[in-house]
Structure 1
Amino acid sequence: MSTHHTDWNAPPHYEAVDDSGSHRESDTLLDSRKPLASGPRYVYYRVYALDGILRCKNDKGNPFIGRIKATSVPLPHTVASLKRALVQAEGLPDPNGDLTGLFQTRDARTAMVMNARVDILTGDLGATAHTSVALVFLTSSKGPVCAASDDEGDDDTGDELPLLYYRLYNRGGEERSVRSFDASEPALGRVKRESIAPPRNVLSVRRRIANVEGKPIYELADLFTDMTADNALHSDTLMDDTCGSSKENPVLIVQPEHRPGVYNRPVLIVALPSDFAVYSSHRFTQWLSPSPGDIVHSDGVAVDRDAYSGYSRYAALDKSGKTGYPAHSKLLDEVSEQSSSSGCNIQ
């Protein structure tokens, strides 16, 4: 697999050494498309979780673009060895690189092949901030990583992507967006496209919107391209820059339908059931026993409320197709990021 990206007008790959001592690291990063003289060769990169861009620990002037010396990458120079070096530089909990994907640029549609050779000493790959590779940590921003807020996600290289506009709905009508920018359109929000993780498909767009809105339900929502669409886009559909390109033509994000007998309303398991007693007043005669953090699906019609835990009981369907009652659960559209135990957690 070739790692040369012929679409870029690639500059020379070396940084100038300033003997006067007045040179600033941030100038080197932001002016990295200028012709440069001899000096250390760097690999520039961005880091993402599945639900958005992360701040780089190893940045030099821009909190969203990091760099490492090309000579710090162990031989042989492959996608795998480069990825492990970036993971180590960022302190991500993935020493073998099994939980991360490496994309040639933030616009790439597929991850690079692990055993492919990369020319990081003289080639174009990651040679400048403008052509930085994208490291995607294949988990949501929980625990050890925390996605940046969309207000922070500015691209200081002067290469900022357009905004993506969206309109939020529950099944009864419009839903107010926390990203609202127009008082007359409270359901209309927007995010920066560069804050959306590669490969920037429908699923990664929904994850980013769920993150900035603080409502996990939107990760499982339907996404439509316009008001005339009959069918939602598949999660794997790649999003080009024409989708949601203006406030007059936003993408439409619709929460899953919930009505009696339709088991498609997500329910989050927040604790294990305290017992497996038969709940005999309905036709389902068993408890479900998923693990905390799992999601099952319900029609959202509460059977009763547990006086001890305060949680409602819902008839639900688990991943295996088994129907029963998960104790200690919450409807996902009633869960907010702010109510989670950690400021970065999306429960």
Structure 2
Amino acid sequence: MPTEETRPMDGSDGKPYTKGFSEDGRGGTKPASIPEVKPRHRYIYYRLYTKDGPLESDHPIYSNDRFISRIASILVRPPHTAASLTRYLCKIEGLEHRQSALYQSLSDNKALDDSTRLSFRGTPGPGPSDIDPVALIVDTRTAENRSKASKSVESQKLLEWDYEPRYVYYRVYDYDGGAVSKTSFDEDDPSLGRVNALSVPPPHTASCLKNFIIRSEGISGHNVQLFEDEGSESAMKDSDALTLLSDTFPGFIADQPIAIMYESGTTNGSANKEDPNEIQIRELGEALAQIKKKFEEANLTHARELAEVREGWEKAKETHKREISEALSTIRQLQAKAIEVIVLKCHLLDWSADTRWHSMKTGDIFYTDGISMREKWCRTEFDCYLATNSLGKQAFVGKGDYMHLATLFLTRNLS
């Protein structure tokens, strides 16, 4: 680690330097964007990650670890919350702050809420040193679309970080036994691999470590399990917490590595060469195809139900029309029926004076369609029917009380 002689408390931008380095610790002019840190303020150290692993900083401090950087606390706008710090870190690193998560320490298992208040004065606050930085996790797509405008300050000569790397040691097994690790460092033990503990993004759980090793090894099989050591009887739970910054976590010692086992997914035991991203793309495509299929089935069902409703409506309309037609036909048939008119008492008028009128006597029976009308007899209009007598003669017959007539409406078909 840099000593106090190589790390002044108040040197230009506050970065460590040795003889031969310029004041800003980068071999160049002091960046205008990083003001001198006053005694009442301090630096906030940070590391960048995606869910897949570490992300290089655009403004690294050390040449041998370009994933760590720092900012002056006075540049974070008030109120001093997790959201304010996240926004500024994303600003200077050319990243979108959406879908990001801020951890106060690499050892924290829970991200800070945006509204969490932070203390930027004194050492108890977040990111007090390069060995205890805050961690910012950003979306992978956000990192891919990273803005280039943030690289306005060129890093020329950086210090080397005198820090002993802390590794997580592990041994790789496929379903049949030991397999060659892609991170192997000992030619006499090719199945033994290791990853830098600082490269594992928080939260530090068995699931997070397992996924990081899977990506580091390019494992494309399935049923991947993580065991605490080679002698474990059962796999670790994904939610198991790991203290990767301590001296007690599983895999801390090379002679006692954790074990990761996977099945290749082939019948002959050979390794599956399919890229994990291709597997995810295929699975996503299959899921989308299922959603599309269900959507099309729902559309077909809806169309069928709608057609059935329309068909039922058309049938109902046809039935209604038929019923109306039948009712009208019935009315017409009823109108075609004869109405029998029986003369109960004949009036003294001599109807025979007009041949258009029937001559009536008591007991005569006439047949009419029952349609009332008014016709003249001797210059006087009377209510009457057009009727047919028993001889088949058609003429008018009077109606009304003055005729002393009674009518019996009987359904008798004249045809």
Q: Which residue in the other structure is 1:134 paired with?
A: 135
Offset, 1:214:
2.8
Letter in 1 for 2:255: E
Q: Which residue in the other structure is 2:286 paired with?
A: 289
Q: Which residue in the other structure is 2:192 paired with?
A: 188
Unaligned runs of 5+ in 1: 1-11, 28-35, 146-154, 274-287, 293-317, 323-347
Q: Distance in 2 between matches of 1:13 and 1:41?
A: 13
Q: Are the equivalent residues in 2 in contact too, given 1:198–1:204 (CA < 8 A)?
A: yes
Residue 246 of structure 1: which of 235, 253, 258 is its match? 253
Question: What is the DSSP-based 3-state SS (H/G/I as helix, E as strand, rest coil) of the residue aligned with 1:268?
Answer: helix
Change (3 A) 1:134 1:189: same
Change (3 A) 1:192 1:89: same
Q: Distance in 1 between matches of 2:235 and 2:266?
A: 19
Report whether the alignment pairs 1:255 with 2:281.
no
Q: Are the equivalent residues in 1 in contact too, given 2:41–2:122 (CA < 8 A)?
A: no
Letter in 2 for 1:268: I
Q: Which residue in the other structure is 1:342 paired with?
A: none
Report whether the alignment pairs 1:71 with 2:78.
no
Q: Which residue in the other structure is 2:88 paired with?
A: 85
Question: What is the DSSP-based 3-state SS (H/G/I as helix, E as strand, rest coil) of the residue aligned with 1:85?
Answer: helix
Q: Which residue in the other structure is 1:235 paired with?
A: 238
Q: Distance in 2 between matches of 1:142 and 1:255?
A: 29
- Whose RCO is larger (CA < 8 A, sep 6+)? 1
Report whether the alignment pairs 1:15 with 2:10.
yes
Q: Distance in 2 between matches of 1:238 and 1:257?
A: 27
Q: Are the equivalent residues in 1 in contact too, given 2:221–2:262 (CA < 8 A)?
A: yes
Report whether the alignment pairs 1:54 with 2:92.
no
Q: Distance in 2 between matches of 1:271 and 1:142?
A: 23
Computed over aligned residues only, the root mean square deviation of the Cα atoms, in angstroms, reads 4.0
Change (3 A) 1:37 1:142: closer
Offset, 1:79:
0.8
Letter in 2 for 1:88: K
After superposition, where does 1:1-347 map in structure 2 within 5 Å?
15-17=10-12, 22-25=22-25, 38=39, 41-62=42-63, 63-93=66-96, 95-96=97-98, 99-123=99-123, 124-139=125-140, 143-144=144-145, 156-217=160-221, 221-240=224-243, 241-256=248-263, 258=265, 268=279, 270=281, 289-291=286-288
Offset, 1:128:
3.1
Change (3 A) 1:179 1:269: closer
Q: Distance in 1 between matches of 2:264 and 2:105?
A: 37
Question: What is the DSSP-based 3-state SS (H/G/I as helix, E as strand, rest coil) of the residue aligned with 2:279?
Answer: strand
Q: Distance in 1 between matches of 2:8 and 2:87?
A: 22
Tell me how many residue pairs correspond in the alignment.
245
Question: What is the DSSP-based 3-state SS (H/G/I as helix, E as strand, rest coil) of the residue aligned with 1:221?
Answer: strand
Question: What is the DSSP-based 3-state SS (H/G/I as helix, E as strand, rest coil) of the residue aligned with 1:227?
Answer: coil
Q: Which residue in the other structure is 2:381 paired with?
A: none
Letter in 2 for 1:187: S
Query: Percent identity over the alignment?
Result: 27
Computing the radius of gyration from Cα coordinates, the structure with the larger value is 2
Q: Distance in 1 between matches of 2:113 and 2:182?
A: 38
Structure ranking higher in helix proportion: 2
Describe the superposition over 1:258-312 as per-residue Cα deviations: whole angstroms up to 9, x where unpaired. Answer: 589xxxx998264699xxxxxxxxxxxxxx83249xxxxxxxxxxxxxxxxxxxx
Q: Are the equivalent residues in 1 in contact too, given 2:12–2:24 (CA < 8 A)?
A: no
